[in-house]
């Protein structure tokens, strides 16, 4: 007997038939003698519609009211799933964020979890009742509804698993696991049976959409045993595990990409100490997330160029902030390009095999792909390239690193 948290996303609960299907998946864990808590998202499309209403009603935006509105999506799903479970003979009740309570700070729209009081739910799980928990939502210090931000249901599930001391947290989604890369652009992509937390974290932040970065970080911190699997078939999925649990990795684990990137180059900056801190401090204050940064050596003695990448959505804000500050920063020109993509290879194998970066650059060079920016971490190498080459780069790297075979 184990205590399990199951999480089902928006497409898995997209209509009444799919909710009944989820109920059957829950029942099979109950029938196997397990205690089950289920965390669900809003029915797919619902959150988008609610967000659109909350935006369209007026330009002034109260994030507390926004949260009150969008949290209804999950509230509907938990009620429907609880009824669906009862209808197939499973004792179940719904739990809203404020009922648990699932306490967060007061940063509405992107709240951080502070404390989950799970004693009552533990008691009911032990008595055989399934807890159907609304993902994505909590209650702030002033008693108002908060939300965790997009993809927050993964985080809710992991946090509930930690609070419940669950033996496993299964993330059910519309893909059946974590792949070596996106199977839509590389048919030879292979499902991984295991991936380490660190790799999953790098894959998620490099653009792989299967799990939210924040939920992986939380799982790693609380040592929650994560599994990514399909809600539409019974195949085993991908286990996210500690590095010690994997014998030895000879290869990189996966290739991630992101097309939602942009690049900015500030040319002719005065080469003085503190100039980078000033630029990136200003952008950070405006909540512009800068990703990769390259500063070229000063060629004419007193001047330097800085190139950085950022999310394409943030480009207009960054451009206007930098243009306003041009006199103060003293750069000669600003060039921007949103026609770029980031391609990353991820794997703990890099730690022991220093030749991997060289191999990556050679493969891309052979295909005539120009590298605009490079950044590396201990287990990841990312390059910024012209976006038209994304698929070519992913396929070439997948072949070169023989990812189609385990």
- Residues in contact with a second copy by the rule CB under 8 A: 16, 19-20, 50, 53-54, 56-62, 64-66, 68-69, 71-72, 75-76, 78-80, 82-84, 86-88, 93-94, 96, 98-99, 143-145
Nearest to a second copy of 21, 194 (CB atom): 21
Single out the residue of 236, 238, 244, 240 nearest to residue 217, CA to CA.
240
Nearest to a second copy of 56, 248 (CB atom): 56
**Minimum CB–partner distance for residue 390 and a second copy (Å):** 38
**Minimum CB–partner distance for residue 159 and a second copy (Å):** 21
**Minimum CB–partner distance for residue 151 and a second copy (Å):** 21
Strand 226-230 with 194-196, pairing = unpaired
**Minimum CB–partner distance for residue 169 and a second copy (Å):** 24
Distances (CA, A) of 208 to 201, 232, 256, 259, 373: 9, 20, 5, 11, 20
**Minimum CB–partner distance for residue 63 and a second copy (Å):** 10
Nearest to a second copy of 133, 200 (CB atom): 133
Answer whether the bond into residue 193 is a cis peptide, omega within 30°: no
Nearest to a second copy of 86, 193 (CB atom): 86
Nearest to a second copy of 26, 343 (CB atom): 26
Which residues lie below 8 Å from residue 310, measured CB to CB, with a gap of 6+? 261, 262, 263, 264, 283, 288, 289, 290, 291, 318
Nearest to a second copy of 33, 89 (CB atom): 89
**Minimum CB–partner distance for residue 401 and a second copy (Å):** 47
Nearest to a second copy of 20, 190 (CB atom): 20
**Minimum CB–partner distance for residue 62 and a second copy (Å):** 6
**Minimum CB–partner distance for residue 22 and a second copy (Å):** 11
């Amino acid at each position: 007997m184990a205590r399990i948290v199951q999480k089902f996303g928006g497409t898995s609960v997209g209509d009444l038939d799919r909710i009944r299907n989820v109920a059957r998946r829950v029942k099979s864990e109950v029938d196997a003698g397990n205690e089950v808590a289920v965390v669900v998202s809003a029915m797919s499309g619902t959150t988008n519609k609610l967000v659109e209403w909350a935006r369209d009603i007026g330009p002034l935006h109260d994030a507390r009211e926004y949260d009150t509105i969008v949290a209804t999506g999950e509230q509907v799903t938990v009620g429907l799933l609880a009824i669906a479970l009862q209808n197939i003979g499973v004792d179940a009740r719904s739990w809203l964020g404020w009922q648990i309570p699932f306490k967060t700070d007061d940063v509405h729209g992107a709240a951080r979890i502070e404390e989950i009081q799970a004693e009552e739910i533990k008691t009911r799980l032990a008595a055989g009742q399934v807890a159907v928990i609304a993902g994505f939502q909590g209650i702030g210090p002033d008693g108002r509804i908060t939300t965790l931000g997009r993809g927050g249901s993964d985080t809710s599930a992991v946090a509930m698993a930690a609070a419940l001391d669950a033996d496993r947290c299964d993330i059910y989604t519309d893909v059946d696991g974590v792949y070596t890369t996106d199977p839509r652009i590389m048919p030879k992509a292979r499902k991984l049976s295991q991936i380490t937390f660190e790799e999953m974290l790098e894959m998620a932040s490099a653009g792989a959409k299967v799990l939210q970065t924040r939920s992986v970080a939380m799982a790693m911190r609380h040592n929650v045993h994560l599994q990514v699997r399909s809600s539409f078939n019974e195949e085993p999925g991908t286990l996210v595990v500690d590095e010690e649990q994997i014998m030895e990795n000879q290869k990189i684990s996966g290739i991630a990409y992101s097309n939602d990137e942009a690049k900015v180059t500030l040319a002719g900056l005065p080469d003085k100490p503190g100039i980078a801190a000033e630029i990136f401090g200003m952008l950070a204050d405006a909540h512009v997330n800068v990703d990769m940064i390259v500063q070229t050596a000063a060629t004419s003695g007193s001047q330097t160029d800085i190139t950085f990448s950022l999310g394409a959505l943030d480009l207009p804000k960054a451009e206007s902030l930098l243009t306003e500050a041009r006199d103060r920063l003293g750069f000669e020109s600003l060039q921007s390009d949103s026609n770029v993509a980031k391609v990353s290879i991820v794997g703990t194998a890099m730690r022991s095999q220093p030749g991997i970066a060289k191999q990556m650059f050679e493969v891309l060079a052979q295909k005539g792909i120009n590298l605009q920016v490079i950044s590396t971490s201990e287990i990841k190498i990312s390059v910024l390239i012209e976006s038209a080459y994304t698929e070519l780069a992913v396929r070439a790297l997948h072949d070169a690193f023989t990812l189609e075979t385990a």
